[in-house]
Amino acid sequence: MKHDIRIAGHFFALRPVTMEDAKFMLELRTDPELAAYLNPTSHLLADQQAYLESYFSRPDDYYFIVHARDSGAAEGMLAIYDIDHDSKHAEWGRWILKRNSLAAVESACLVYRAGFEEMGLEGMYCRTVAKNGRVVSFHASCGLERVRELPGYVTLNGVRHDSVEQLMTREQWSHCGHLLDEKAERLARLLRR
């Protein structure tokens, strides 16, 4: 969906995805290390562009580029999607950052700000392949509650994998959001040195 939500943090920021991001997105999505727990994608730029054309017409799907605030250099991408307007809950995912990126903490903080402060959501959840322990642990360290196991939830390269659903509510965010923001601010100070 074309949207105009922009969120600036201490060092990184979020902006809407554009067609010009297709090449960058394809590079990340086809990197075998980065995409180990993502659905496989075509290696053709034209296919990525077609995907973005389709995305731009989908309602309730907010795709963002994570970028350095000062230089505008792209660091990765993430999205908020599958919005349930009755419960005001949505999933966030499609999160992938360049190798060795230091944007994880702040991009997570920014996506919660987008969801809770800009979009008025009451809850945001992630569904992560259970074997991706590093990301499951990261979400837990941000204050997400482990809600349930999803047996065989995703199929990657013909193999079914269990997933873990973790949830951040608006109330939880009001308690732990400042802690995440403080971590992002400390990292930003280090990056500016």
Would 183 be classed as within a structural domain? yes
Q: Are 66 and 107 in contact (CB under 8 A)?
A: yes
In a domain, 1, yes or no: no
Residue 41 lies in a domain: yes
In contact, 65 and 82? CB cutoff 8 Å: no
Q: Is 25 part of a structural domain of the chain?
A: yes
* Residue 82 belongs to some domain of the structure: yes
Q: Is residue 15 part of a domain?
A: yes
Residue 2 belongs to some domain of the structure? no
Domain membership of residue 123 (yes or no) is yes
Overall domain count for the chain: 1
Q: Which residues of the chain have pLDDT under 50?
A: none
- Note the pLDDT tens digit of each residue in 113-147: 999 999 999 999 999 999 999 999 999 999 999 99
This prediction has a pTM of 0.95
Structure tokens at 74: 């792209």
Query: What is the domain-level CATH number for residue 32?
Result: 3.40.630.30
Q: What share of the chain is helix, strand, coil (3-state, %, to 5)?
A: 35, 35, 30
Distance separating alpha carbons of residues 165 and 129, to the nearest angstrom: 9
Residues ≥6 apart with Cβ < 8 Å to 54: none
List the domain range (segments joined by +) for residue 147.
Answer: 7-192
Q: Phi/psi class of residue 72: alpha, beta or left (left: φ > 0; alpha: ψ in -120 to 50)? A: left
